[in-house]
Amino acid sequence: MERGNSIETTGSITKVQKLTNLEQHVLSNTLVLISENTFPGYIARKEFNRNSPLNSVYLILMYRYFPEKIERISNIMRQKYRNCNFGCGEIEIQNKIFPCIRIKGLTCCELIPEIQAGYKNNDIKLMSFRKIKNEGNIRVFKHFKISEISNGIYRDLYEGEKFYFIVPARINWQLLTYITNNIKKEISDNDFDPAIGIINRFAGPEDVIRIFDRNKTLKRALEIKNKYLKELGKQGFHKTNPGSTVEATFYQ
């Protein structure tokens, strides 16, 4: 592949975060969750500062809808709320699946009920309120616009702080957390955030690790990629063919 060409495709990003209710500035008797974990420089609290970027907000849905239905409505929302990013996904909390719409880029929490009403008016049913304060496995289905900046490393063309590098097989969150802790002990500049991802390509899905990092240099991306691959190798993480669904076994 020629370096610098943009690639538009689909996939998903998965991570585990601590979630809690957002109880103010939402429609009555609806379930909205926010993350207590943040990217570096972002906030996660129940009263937002208009001058600070928000972490993700999750509108919980009553049912799973066809992605095309959510996407068509979300496209209307993007035109009205141009600073916001809308994506559909699902959250697993204690073996229960909560379909959701994730919103990023909000700078004013007063917009949330207006956005909820927009989905409701398009026949999307919102889940009723219930108290939640727990870890959730969050999977967001994404449209990617990326560029390959080095062999097996993609830069996100929408969010330049994010890059993705290919790993030999699918990994789980426990393994990612373990090796991330090892890596952060080794390097002084350890203010980055990882997640597990899948990027769909013509030859098959590529398993990747997504890194959010304010340092957007290629040197930094190569350093982090090499450290992860080294740590994965220590755990018996062997190379497989592209698109493999073999899941690495984690022994601690």
Which pLDDT band, with edges at 50, 70 and 90, does 105 fall under? confident
Say yes or no to pLDDT of 51 above 60. Answer: no
Higher pLDDT, 236 or 127: 127
Give the three-class secondary structure for 8.
strand
Q: The domain containing residue 63 runs over which residues?
A: 16-138
Q: Are residues 43 and 120 in the same domain?
A: yes
Q: Are residues 121 and 182 in the same domain?
A: no
Burial class (CB in 10 A: 0-12, 13-18, 19+), 40: exposed
The mean pLDDT value of the chain amounts to: 88
Higher pLDDT, 211 or 44: 211
In this structure, the number of other CB atoms found within 10 A of the CB of residue 219 comes to 8
Q: Say if residues 211 and 163 touch (Cβ distance below 8 Å).
A: yes
Is 251 contained in some domain?
no
Which pLDDT belongs to residue 108? 80
Candidates 186, 188, 202; CA nearest to 243 is 202
Q: Which of 138, 164, 186 is at the close of a domain?
A: 138
DSSP codes joined into one string, 171-236: --HHHHHHHHHHHHHH-S---EEEEEEEEEETTEEEEEEEEEES---HHHHHHHHHHHHHHHHHTT
Length of the chain (residues): 252
Is 35 contained in some domain?
yes
Q: Are residues 90 and 117 in the same domain?
A: yes
Q: Are residues 77 and 163 in the same domain?
A: no
Which pLDDT belongs to residue 249? 39
Which pLDDT band, with edges at 50, 70 and 90, does 57 fall under? very high
Is 243 contained in some domain?
no
Q: Are residues 112 and 218 in the same domain?
A: no
Q: Are residues 125 and 157 in the same domain?
A: no
Q: Are residues 160 and 130 in the same domain?
A: no
Structural domain count of the chain:
2
Is 248 contained in some domain?
no
Q: Which of 138, 167, 184 is at the close of a domain?
A: 138
Is 250 contained in some domain?
no
Q: Say if residues 136 and 16 touch (Cβ distance below 8 Å).
A: yes
Q: Are residues 134 and 179 in the same domain?
A: no
Which pLDDT belongs to residue 107? 78
Which pLDDT belongs to residue 4? 62
Q: Are residues 179 and 213 in the same domain?
A: yes
Which pLDDT belongs to residue 1? 40
Is 72 contained in some domain?
yes
Say yes or no to pLDDT of 48 above 60. Answer: no
Q: Model's pTM, two decimal places?
A: 0.85
User: Per residue in 88-101, pLDDT tens?
Assistant: 999 999 999 999 99
Which pLDDT band, with edges at 50, 70 and 90, does 43 fall under? very low
Is 26 contained in some domain?
yes
User: Per residue in 136-188, pLDDT tens?
Assistant: 999 999 999 999 999 999 999 999 999 999 999 899 999 999 999 999 999 98
Is 5 contained in some domain?
no
Q: Are residues 113 and 167 in the same domain?
A: no
CA gap 27, 116 in Å, rounded? 7
Q: Are residues 22 and 131 in the same domain?
A: yes
Q: Are residues 38 and 129 in the same domain?
A: yes
In the chain, the amino acid numbered 24 is Q
Which pLDDT band, with edges at 50, 70 and 90, does 52 fall under? very low
